[in-house]
Amino acid sequence: MSDTRWKQKGASIQFRKKPPRWPLVAGILLVAAIGVAWMQSDPVEISFSDDESGASVGAPAAPAAVPAATDKDLTDPSTDGPSSALFKPFSIRESDRVRSGETLFSAMARRHIARTDANLVVDSLKKLVNLRAVRQGDALIYEYRVADNGVDQELTAVEFVAVGSAGAPVRYRATRGDNEFLLSRYESDIKTSVRKLQGRVTGSLYGSMIGAGGDASLVSRFTEFFGHQIDFYRDAQKDDAFKILVESRYADGRFIGYGKVLAAEYNNAGRRYRGFYYESEDGRIAGIYDEKGNSLVSGILTAPMDFVRITSKFGRRFHPVHGVVRPHNGVDYGARAGTPFWAVADGVVLEARFSSSAGNMVRVQHKNGVMTEYFHAKGFAKGIHRGARVKQKQILGYVGSTGHSTAPHLHFGMKINGRYTNPSKRVVPAGDPVPNRHLTVFRSKVAPMVADLENESLS
């Protein structure tokens, strides 16, 4: 029954013939032939009826044919054809940063810069850049010329951006020349304005000053400002107030850090300390003074390191290693291993050696019969040895836990004329005041800063 179909109605069965398929196949072939003929002939307008009235709607004419692009169109930038607008040579810039452990050469290799070009760039940059000082995060900018075929690229310049000694970005540009990269250097101008920061100690002085807009370096400079009058580790209290007039430095419109502290005030438990930085025009007189021109700088600093806690005071104590009560001829400062400590005054190194009890130790002889000692160091700073001359605040070594020690700390001791004294309570003479011939200029510079400190609305 392949050529019939059957259908049952009630009790009777009716058979129908399968409709022939050749008319359908013929129609499909006819339409295909017409389509091929139409595509090979000139465009024509086809009309068809879209409603019962028989109105005709014209199909839009085919667009004019676009001439095929020639080789000249793709390579000659002067061609007016459509391809030239897409493939005219142009430059692109890509930015990157030096990663941990990378050199300039390896950073360029990671970007697939050709070895020959990378060597030429490095040879150029090393004329002005200390390549050993390249740090993680330093910026690299690559400039390429894209060829007129839209594919090939040629490295035309490399810029290396780092922070200069003045704190402003310095840009070194190596530009392709004949068989070399030519080097140029650009440094941003630094603009300075005076800013006032103020606040109260709520937790730590460090955290309170950061909260007022300062940074770690400014906190350090502030403590240096009063480092001869106040032991901030011992004397700072909650609700103490501070004010600072400091240089704010900008490069290319961006804040790059704080400069000199010009004036500062600290109210400690009702006692007010004020200081002003003054430098003469010839640079021969420079220092920190009070409003009358008296020096706030003494010959010895109050502490040998920045922002640490006192873990053991001067006097008798129970020794944690020996298990007996014995004299403690110094002050212990708790700090992380590796924290630097410095000389509290100018002097000459008497000893820099290892002791079974003191560990790595340094003793320094100062003038006026003062000797200071520093115990339990992890190691000594470069150049610290017997007979070496050191300046005030020159780094002597780094906190450790060598010798008879249970945790990283610095033992700081002081002798005056051969007898141990409490370093926190010693009395030392102040430095020289502003010379009389400079007093008039000094007062004229200090007066507006006093007004700024007293102006509560200024910030």
Residue 150 has pLDDT above 70, yes or no: yes
Q: For position 393, what pLDDT does the model report?
A: 86
All CATH 3.10.450.350 domain ranges of the chain, comma separated, are 90-187, 191-289
Q: For position 312, what pLDDT does the model report?
A: 62
All CATH 2.70.70.10 domain ranges of the chain, comma separated, are 309-420
Contact 205, 212 (CB under 8 A): no
pTM summary value: 0.53
For residue range 255-274, what is the model confidence (pLDDT) as tens digits? 988 989 999 999 998 889 99
Mean pLDDT for 116-140 is 91
**Topology, domain 90-187:** Nuclear Transport Factor 2; Chain: A, (3.10.450)
Which residues are within 8 A (CB) of 32 and not within 5 positions of it... i.e. 6 or more apart?
Answer: none
Token readout for 443 is 């007062």
Q: Which amino acid appears at position 27 of this protein? A: G
**Topology, domain 191-289:** Nuclear Transport Factor 2; Chain: A, (3.10.450)
Token readout for 243 is 């004010």
Mean pLDDT for 96-103 is 92
pLDDT band at 244 (very low <50, low <70, confident <90, very high): very high
Q: For position 431, what pLDDT does the model report?
A: 73
CB atoms within 10 A of CB 296: 21
pLDDT band at 423 (very low <50, low <70, confident <90, very high): confident
CB atoms within 10 A of CB 270: 6
How far is Cα of residue 130 from the mean position of the Cα atoms in its chain? 19
pLDDT band at 12 (very low <50, low <70, confident <90, very high): very low
CA 420 to CA 171: how far, in whole Å? 54
- Indicate the range of 77-81, 258-262, 274-278, 389-393 predicted with least confidence: 77-81
- Mean pLDDT, the chain, as a whole number? 78
Contact 276, 446 (CB under 8 A): yes
CA 351 to CA 52: how far, in whole Å? 116
CB atoms within 10 A of CB 102: 18
Q: Is the domain covering 309-420 a CATH 3.90.1150.10 domain?
A: no
For residue range 153-209, what is the model confidence (pLDDT) as tens digits? 899 999 998 887 777 888 999 999 988 999 999 888 889 999 999 999 998 888 899
